Structure 1
Amino acid sequence: MTAHAEHTGRRGKGRLRSMLAPFGAAALTGAVFTYVGLVDPNQTGHYPTCPFLLVTGLYCPGCGTLRTIHALAHGDMVAALGLNPLAVATVPFLLFWWGRWALRTWQGRPVRTTLAHPAYIWAFLALVIVYWIVRNLPFGRFLAP
């Protein structure tokens, strides 16, 4: 075996090994979607109640997300949007970040340690807080699960 072929073989194994993290994240996400798709959160007793909802009687930004995942797993986009539109809206961004991570890892390029520019992260945090407040107000009941 030539030195070039041996180096290329090691690089291929290293590339596949480096893809374990992105593939592991995808497998875990797929397992969660499969489990929640099979075990209906609309039926009582399968999942615990949201602690914030239990204590305050108010919806948190994540309330309805399990049922949203269940609806998405069954291809019911309308129901998913009705349960937690913010969770549905984040899916394309999560897919983009996962794809960027997987591509950069496959190419052997350094993976960025931040998901996005800090201004975008702060804007998203502000959006979550506004969503949290509005979904608990009378005029924002359409955002409640």
Structure 2
Amino acid sequence: MTGENQLVDASPRTPDRAPVPPAPVLPAPLVPAPVPVVPASRVRRLAVPALTLASVAAAFAYVGTVDPNEPGHYPVCPLFRLTGILCPGCGGLRSAHAFAHGDLVTALGANAMAVIGYFGFAAFMILWLARAYRGGPTPRFTLKPRYWWAVAVVALVFCLIRNLPFGSALAP
């Protein structure tokens, strides 16, 4: 070289290519217009809680009519049949029968935990119906896992106590 700075093209030679055509322009996607939120009518809001309440009332009416104290109408608890151990639900039908007839003392004697459940369900239904009537949000029944564990422990303790001699008052 002669002392002059020369630029040398080091890239390999490629044959001339045809120009790449531009990408086609697509139309903008159609976005539906926002639908106005129309509040549901009171009858529509009350339909689900009212049907739930009617279903539970029908079940209580059936148990109130067909006495579980008479043999042959309902199946025997499988745990009690196999082991002789009263589960937390044993006596629930007798409790519902007494509760449907307004005999709270007999209902508590048959299954006290079930009676607590009846009152809890009644409170939930009152809340649900009141919110549906006013147009409020549907109540959600969510518990943290530690509360579910607490309910399970209470049911287990209830089961243990009612099967021991000193807890015979809790047995149906």
Tell me the TM-score normalised to structure 2 length.
0.71
| Structure with greater helix share of residues | 1
* 2:112 is aligned with 1:88: no
Distance 2:48 2:79 in 1: 32
The aligned residue for residue 70 of structure 2 is 43
Give the Cα separation in 1 of the matches to 2:102 and 2:158.
24
1:111-130 to 2 correspondence within 5 Å? 111-116=138-143, 119-130=146-157
Larger RCO of the pair (alpha carbons < 8 Å, separation 6+)? 1
Deviation at 1:11, TM superposition (A): 4.0
| Offset of residue 141 of structure 1 | 1.3
Aligned residues: CA RMSD: 2.1
Deviation at 1:73, TM superposition (A): 1.3
| Residue in structure 2 matching 1:28, options 38, 55, 63 | 55
Tell me the matched-pair count.
Answer: 136
User: Aligned residue for 1:107?
Assistant: 134
Larger radius of gyration: 2
Q: Shift of the alpha carbon at 1:144?
A: 0.7
* Maintained 8 Å contact 1:60/1:132: yes
> TM-score, with normalisation over the residues of structure 1?
0.82
1:116: how far off? 4.9
Q: Does 1:58 align with 2:85?
A: yes
Residues 10-69 of structure 1: CA distance to partner in whole angstroms, max 9, x if unpaired? 7463x3112111101110111011111111100000000011111211001010010111
Structure 1, unmatched stretches of 5+, are: 1-9
Identical counterparts, % of pairs = 44
